[in-house]
Amino acid sequence: MVIAEVGQDAVTTPQEVRSRIVELISEGRRSVSVMVAEPDGALSIISLVLE
């Protein structure tokens, strides 16, 4: 699996994922949607609670 988007913004590296999550926490967000791409191309949306 590969994380493709965090909070509807495309990400391509683990550093971008972390930076986006830190940004959302600093904005006061309590949860975020993450789009995950499977090896076969299927996409899934996962909701994460931010603490």
Q: Is 7 strand, coil or helix?
A: coil
The string of pLDDT tens digits covering residues 1-51 is 999 999 999 999 999 999 999 999 999 999 999 999 999 999 999 999 998
| Model pLDDT, residue 32 | 96
Q: What is the pLDDT of residue 10?
A: 97
In whole angstroms, what is the distance from residue 48 CA to residue 30 CA? 9
DSSP 8-state class, residue 11: -
Cα distance between residue 49 and residue 29, in whole Å: 9
